[in-house]
Amino acid sequence: MDQPIDILLFGLGAIGSFYAFILNRSDRVRLTVVARSNYEEVKANGILINSEIHGQNRVRPHNVVKSPVDVSGTFDYIVCANKAINQDEVVSHLQPAVDENRTTIVIIQNGVGNEEPFRKGLPGCSIITCVTWVGATQTSPGVVDHMKSEDLQIGLFLNPSLDHSLEQARLHTFASLLEEGKTRFQILDDIQRRRWEKVVWNCAWNSITTLTLLDTQSWLHSSVDAVPLTGKLMREVIDVARKCGVDLGYNLVDQLMAKINSIPGIGSSMQTDYKNGRPMEIDVILGFPLKKAREFGIETPVLETIHTLLRAVEFRTQSKL
């Protein structure tokens, strides 16, 4: 029998649970998951996936732990599906499970700039960076409802110190596991473009739904100024992306507005985090673009204002004021 492919999946929320299900479908995978708030339920019963596409499935990982420090040995792939918060701390926690001659980091997170702490802290590792468009909700600990949306865009965050053919082999091995898991995915050379496209979307809808506590359609119909302000915010982020070498056009604004108007009003993961008193992904969604705007001397007044307001909201919730 071939040597199993050892995978550690860190972050067992709705998205992490969905990809635990996908990866566990491969007979080649030996899956360990890091579960925190849902540890007891997952340890006892596994993960229950109720999917409109894949039906009902119960996932029983090879091993369930509360922290990466609880595992023994190292892994071929470490899949980070956790909220992109305190990334430097996450890298530190993962180091005992990493063999830089063997381990590939797979980042399935919102935002841009996510790869930088991993490159800095784990310079010998390959990094596969991903953009996911999956509709999934954890309705109770260890139970996830998956709607019909399902797409994963993957690509390399190239490591100049590694042979390109080695990195390509690692990418295609991971892609083969997704294929065996029967999920929709695409391998892309321009993955940073897709990350920035999604952050344009997230900068608008995550922040606005959180600050207003409205769904997207309620916001857009709340005043005559709502649509123009949303467009200004999106265009500011596009300006930053261009300076970062990602060639986005302003027509993306029209595309994203058409997309949001084609669906009923929705909230956002950031709004859900706010309502539950959890830290929010402000840094990777708004903070990194704002940091780059300041480095390049770009005026982004809407982005700066919304970022500052979100910081104040998080300060209040985390300080229990």
At 149 the pLDDT is 86
Provide DSSP, 125-181. SEEEEEEE---EEEEETTEEEE-S---EEEEE---TTS-HHHHHHHHHHHHHHHHHT
In this structure, are 42 and 157 located in the same domain?
A: yes
pTM, to two decimals: 0.93
Contact predicate 1/27, CB 8 Å: no
Q: What is the pLDDT along the chain (321 residues), one digit of tens a residue?
A: 479 999 999 999 999 999 999 999 999 999 999 998 999 999 999 999 999 999 999 999 999 999 888 898 999 999 999 999 889 999 999 999 999 999 999 999 999 999 999 999 999 999 999 999 998 999 999 999 999 889 999 999 999 999 999 999 999 999 999 999 999 999 999 999 999 999 999 999 999 999 999 999 999 999 999 999 999 999 999 999 999 999 999 999 999 999 999 999 999 999 999 998 999 999 999 999 999 999 999 999 999 999 999 999 999 988 876
Closest to 49 in 3D by CA, of 18, 8, 9: 18
In this structure, are 206 and 155 located in the same domain?
A: no
In this structure, are 200 and 99 located in the same domain?
A: no
In this structure, are 18 and 157 located in the same domain?
A: yes
At 321 the pLDDT is 62
Looking at 161, 189, 217, the residue that finishes a domain is 189
At 148 the pLDDT is 82
Rounded to an integer, what distance in angstroms lies between the CA atom of residue 50 and that of residue 39?
Answer: 19
In this structure, are 263 and 196 located in the same domain?
A: yes
Looking at 173, 189, 205, the residue that finishes a domain is 189
In this structure, are 17 and 145 located in the same domain?
A: yes
**How many whole angstroms from its chain centre is CA 320?**
27
H helix and E strand count, the chain: 13, 12
In this structure, are 302 and 159 located in the same domain?
A: no
In this structure, are 209 and 306 located in the same domain?
A: yes
Domains identified in the chain, total number? 2
- DSSP three-state, residue 282: helix
CATH of the domain at 241: 1.10.1040.10
- DSSP three-state, residue 48: strand
- Helix, strand, coil percentages, rounded to 5, for the chain: 50, 20, 35
Q: Which two tokens stand for residue 162?
A: 């590694």
Task: Identify the DSSP state of 266.
Answer: -
CATH of the domain at 40: 3.40.50.720
Q: Residue 246: which domain range?
A: 192-319
In this structure, are 17 and 31 located in the same domain?
A: yes
In single-letter form, the type of residue at position 112 comes to V
In this structure, are 238 and 281 located in the same domain?
A: yes
- Tell me the β-bridge partners of 140: 143
In this structure, are 206 and 139 located in the same domain?
A: no
In this structure, are 29 and 147 located in the same domain?
A: yes
Looking at 189, 224, 248, the residue that finishes a domain is 189
